[in-house]
């Protein structure tokens, strides 16, 4: 038996342990956010005008202020999604302080997203999952330098995504396609085992239903493929605008580094709280909005305004430095755009475009492919999140068209752009 086989065999149970720990942590974060968002919306609806406004604005300002202050004061690497930081760790550009990162990411994310910031739970669970990989490595006294620790960090990252979405295959694909950008047997096996373990834990603690319930029972007809391709092209441009907008937002908020982080977060929360008073479901993670898109409950004339609101709120929420991911914003914005295009196509030709809700999923996948530039992860993620394999062909069409447009415009993928902005390669910096 070769040394490689022995190391791989010994890594298997360690990866499963990482998945179990990451699954518990991700489930706790998911359940906490679900409760916080439900409580916030319920309180706004339950009170009269002036008090409801005070609740919405007060929660957003206090949550944003405290969340941004925690991040800047104790763990600056927890700002935003945290995925660029994990990429920097895997590349050897940054260290991972898991004892500080996990609690700060958990509570700063809960304060900001629970208060209404238009961010997602997925980035935080990925970063915290990676941190659990290192925590398990330290607990087991794994020797640095042999690649085992990095393999477990990567496995924990995928486990965090798997637990956030009930999507184990997507977690594996994310590790291989986005985090590492290459396939190696050790990374694949560790990520696979960790993602499956985390998914089992998440399903036990949070339920086994798909994240989105898509009312599709028959395969979409081939007649929707031209519109799916056109939608992919349109969302390719939207993805580029989204990426550039995020970077511009970070640059703009970067001008206020000398201002108290609590003040920066509170002012961003003021904007979000005002919007949240009028549309409580538009702020926060946005999953209720995506669900309504899938079920066709949103009137056609509201879709452009809701799309613009989520787009701008995401830029404000992420740019100020709050802890939260961009997975959920991408999915919500893509769903709104997809339903709008699907409704237009259905009104023009009901016979060719019989089902509109499917375009919400196509929009999610297409915008993900354009912004993150990880089309395989996006395709698998959409199938796992909806439990519908029937959408595969139009989903492939939309994602690949969006990917092609984004590549043609020479805009870097969002996580690569964020990586180079926050954690540049020392070698390149020295040469410059």
Q: Which CATH architecture has domain 3-206?
A: Orthogonal Bundle (1.10)
What Rg do the C-alpha atoms of the chain give, in angstroms?
21
According to the model, what pLDDT value does residue 432 have? Answer: 45
Instruction: Name the DSSP class of 277.
Output: H
pTM of the full structure? 0.91
343-362 pLDDT, tens digit each:
999 999 888 888 888 899 99
- Of 132, 112, 128, 131, the C-alpha closest to 120 is 112
Give which of 78, 57, 55 is closest to 267, Cα–Cα.
Answer: 57
Res. 215 pLDDT band, cuts 50 70 90: low
Q: How confident is the model at residue 213 (pLDDT cuts 50, 70, 90)?
A: low
Supply the pLDDT for residue 216: 59
Q: How confident is the model at residue 93 (pLDDT cuts 50, 70, 90)?
A: confident
Determine the Cα–Cα distance for residues 10 and 15; give it in Å rounded to an integer: 9
Higher-pLDDT residue of 143 and 428 is 143
pLDDT per residue as tens digits for the range 248-284: 999 999 999 899 999 999 999 999 999 999 888 889 8
**Please, are residues 44 and 273 in contact by the beta-carbon 8 Å criterion?**
no
User: What pLDDT does 217 receive?
Assistant: 57
Residue with tokens 């439900």: 38
Q: How confident is the model at residue 180 (pLDDT cuts 50, 70, 90)?
A: confident
Dihedral over alpha carbons 124, 81, 38, 65 (to 10 degrees): 110
Mean pLDDT of 239-249: 96
| Structure tokens belonging to residue 400 | 């690949």
Supply the angle between the helices 148-165 and 3-46 in degrees, to the nearest 10.
Answer: 30
The DSSP line for 132-179 is HHHHHHHHTTPPTTSSHHHHHHHHHHHHHHHHHHT-HHHHHHHIIIII
Q: Regarding predicted confidence, which is higher, 185 or 78? A: 78
- CATH topology assigned to domain 222-422: Clc chloride channel (1.10.3080)
Residue 142, pLDDT > 90, answer no
The predicted pLDDT at position 366 comes to 96
Range in 34-43, 55-64, 203-212, 402-411 the model is least confident about: 203-212
pLDDT value of residue 45: 83
Lowest mean pLDDT among 143-152, 244-253, 361-370: 143-152
- ∠ at Cα 328 (22, 159), nearest 5°? 20
Residue 129 is inside which H or E element, if any?
A: helix 122-139
String of b and e for 329-361 (b: at least 16 CB within 10 Å)?
Answer: bbbbbbbbbbbbbbbbbbeeeeeebebbbbbbb
Q: Is the pLDDT of residue 390 over 80?
A: yes
Per-residue pLDDT band for 240 (boundaries 50, 70, 90) equals very high
Please state the rounded mean pLDDT for residues 209-220. Answer: 70
- Asked whether 176 and 4 are in contact (CB, 8 A), the reply is no
Is 314 in a helix, a strand, or coil? helix
How many Å apart are CA 190 and CA 211, to the nearest integer? 25
Domain with CATH 1.10.3080.10 in the chain: 3-206, 222-422
Mean pLDDT (the chain) is 89
Contacts for 232 with CB less than 8 Å, ≥ 6 apart: 362, 366, 369, 397, 398, 399, 400, 401, 402, 404, 405
> Where is pLDDT greater, at 431 or 303?
303
The reported pLDDT for the residue numbered 12 is: 86
Confidence of residue 194 (pLDDT cuts 50, 70, 90): very high
* pLDDT reported for residue 427: 63
Q: In this structure, are residues 123 and 29 in contact, taking their beta carbons and an 8 Å threshold?
A: no
Q: Cβ neighbours of residue 215 under 8 Å, at least 6 residues apart? A: 294, 295, 357
pLDDT at site 1: 34
Say what angle helices 392-408 and 225-253 make with each other, to 10 degrees.
50
pLDDT tens sequence across 324-335: 999 889 999 999
Size (the chain), residues = 432
The Cα–Cα gap between 71 and 109 comes to 9
Which of residues 355 and 399 earns the better pLDDT score?
399
Percent residues over pLDDT 90 in the chain:
61
Can you give the pLDDT at residue 2?
Answer: 41
| pLDDT at res. 250 | 95
């Amino acid at each position: 038996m070769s040394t490689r086989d022995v190391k791989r065999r010994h890594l298997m149970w360690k990866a499963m342990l990482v998945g179990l720990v990451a699954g518990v942590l991700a489930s706790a974060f998911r359940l906490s956010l679900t409760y916080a968002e439900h409580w916030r919306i319920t309180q706004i609806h339950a009170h009269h005008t002036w008090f409801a406004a005070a609740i919405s604005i007060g929660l957003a300002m206090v949550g944003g202020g405290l969340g941004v202050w925690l991040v800047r004061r104790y763990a600056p690497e927890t700002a935003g999604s945290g995925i660029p930081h994990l990429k920097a760790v895997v590349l050897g550009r940054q260290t991972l302080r898991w004892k500080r990162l996990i609690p700060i990411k958990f509570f700063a994310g809960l304060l900001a997203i629970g208060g209404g910031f238009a961010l997602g739970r997925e980035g935080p669970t990925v970063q915290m999952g990676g941190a659990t990989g290192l925590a398990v490595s330290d607990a087991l006294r794994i020797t640095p330098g042999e690649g085992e620790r990095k393999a477990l960090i990567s496995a924990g990252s995928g486990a965090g995504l798997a637990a956030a979405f009930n999507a184990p295959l997507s977690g594996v694909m994310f590790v291989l396609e986005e985090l590492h950008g290459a396939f190696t047997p050790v990374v694949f096996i560790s990520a696979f085992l960790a993602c499956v373990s985390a998914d089992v834990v998440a399903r036990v603690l949070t339920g086994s239903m798909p994240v989105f319930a898509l009312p599709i029972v028959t395969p979409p007809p081939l007649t929707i493929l031209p519109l799916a391709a056109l939608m992919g092209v349109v969302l390719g441009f939207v993805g580029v605008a989204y990426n550039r907008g995020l970077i511009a937002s970070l640059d703009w908020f970067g001008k206020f580094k000398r201002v108290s982080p609590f003040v920066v977060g509170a002012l961003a929360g003021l904007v979000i709280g005002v919007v949240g008073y009028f549309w409580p479901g538009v702020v926060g993670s946005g999953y209720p909005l995506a669900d309504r898109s899938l079920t066709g409950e949103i009137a056609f004339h509201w879709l452009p305004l809701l799309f613009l609101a989520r787009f701008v709120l995401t830029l404000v929420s992420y740019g100020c430095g709050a802890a939260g991911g961009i997975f959920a914003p991408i999915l919500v914005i893509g769903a709104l755009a997809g339903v709008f295009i699907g409704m237009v196509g259905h009104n023009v030709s009901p016979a060719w475009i019989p089902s509109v809700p499917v375009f919400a999923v196509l929009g999610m996948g297409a915008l993900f492919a354009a912004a993150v530039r990880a089309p395989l992860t996006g395709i698998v993620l959409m199938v796992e999140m909806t439990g519908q394999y029937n959408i595969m062909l139009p989903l492939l069409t939309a994602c690949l068209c969006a990917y092609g447009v984004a590549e043609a415009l020479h805009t870097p993928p969002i996580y690569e752009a964020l990586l180079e902005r926050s954690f540049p390669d020392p070698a390149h910096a020295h040469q410059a």
